[in-house]
Chains A and B, each alone.
Chain A
């Protein structure tokens, strides 16, 4: 139920990262990958629902989301781990 707020955090984080990273800046972002550790603090389906609504009519509309389980991150962590951009 808190995934709506997490979606806003991700939106802000992606925009900030895109501004800072010259490999991303100005390019079309097509996919985002997330690393998450058990016990999961975010439900992927719920997050995707909110995120899809949030990015409508923005540069991120249509971006694909991938979720990967990580055993290296701390308990319950949810990280943005990859940004795919058009070449």
Chain B
């Protein structure tokens, strides 16, 4: 006898993710899930961003990494709430891990929480961690075909930041063609072109963050 059911397998994760988002909302914290493949520059972008953001906002960072705390160590000089998650080989963060990390942060004194996911262009797409927005950092050194190859991640992204644009001439990369590849799988996401080592290229990224944080505070 076959029993018809229709149950979301990810319900357990998604329910905790929803709890995390509820908590962020209640505390008026804007939360982003920072994703990318390994080496795209997530920590470098966070570091460059913190130099400006910490002067304006109370920022917390949750660092996801398989085994090390090297990324977190790169941010220690900012003296911000900083929580390390080691997945011990796991290829993504899930909502439960992030929930445990949130409990270590005084959200009453935070405006922006940046969650740096494990470097991976596949698995993080399947796990709602409870952030408000998913940001995908896309280094041009990865080639222009990644949006089509990793469509799930690119389709789920609210923001795609094309990084390392300063070396495009040396790689013979066409930034408009890269952006068109992103648009082909995600017509509505925000796209920023940056060199995360150069703050002057981060203006649009900062403006977007300012707008989102202001919306969260006013909600």
Are the chains A and B members of one assembly?
Answer: yes
Taking Cβ atoms with an 8 Å cutoff, the residues of A that contact B are 1-2, 5-6, 9-10, 12-13, 17, 21, 23-24, 31, 33-35, 39, 41-42, 75-87
Q: Which of B1-56 contact A (CB under 8 A)?
A: 1-13
Give every chain B residue within 8 A of A35 (Cβ-Cβ). Answer: 6
For residue A40, give the distance in angstroms from its CB to the closest CB of chain B: 8
Candidates A13, A39, A86; contact of B11 at CB < 8 Å: A13
Measured CA separation A71–B5 after assembly (Å): 17
Shortest Cβ distance from B8 into A: residue: A79
A2 touches B155 (CB 8 A): no
Give the top 3 A-B pairs by smallest Cβ distance, nearest first.
A2-B123, A41-B126, A1-B91
A9 touches B3 (CB 8 A): no
B3 touches A21 (CB 8 A): yes
For residue A71, give the distance in angstroms from its CB to the closest CB of chain B: 14
Q: Mostly helix, strand, loop or mixed at chain B's interface?
A: mixed
Q: Mostly helix, strand, loop or mixed at chain A's interface?
A: mixed
Say yes or no: is B84 at the interface (Cβ < 8 Å to chain A): no
Give every chain B residue within 8 A of A86 (Cβ-Cβ). Answer: 1
Measured CA separation A82–B6 after assembly (Å): 7
Measured CA separation A23–B4 after assembly (Å): 11
Measured CA separation A27–B11 after assembly (Å): 24
A78 touches B151 (CB 8 A): no
Measured CA separation A49–B126 after assembly (Å): 19
Q: Which of B91-118 contact A (CB under 8 A)?
A: 91-92, 94
B1 touches A9 (CB 8 A): no
Give every chain A residue within 8 A of B90 (Cβ-Cβ). Answer: 2, 5
A84 touches B91 (CB 8 A): no
Say yes or no: is B202 at the interface (Cβ < 8 Å to chain A): no
Most chain B CB neighbours (cut-off 10 Å) among A2, A13, A31: A2
B13 touches A82 (CB 8 A): no
Candidates B7, B11, B127, B151; contact of A2 at CB < 8 Å: B127
B7 touches A84 (CB 8 A): no
Candidates A9, A39, A76, A83; contact of B5 at CB < 8 Å: A83
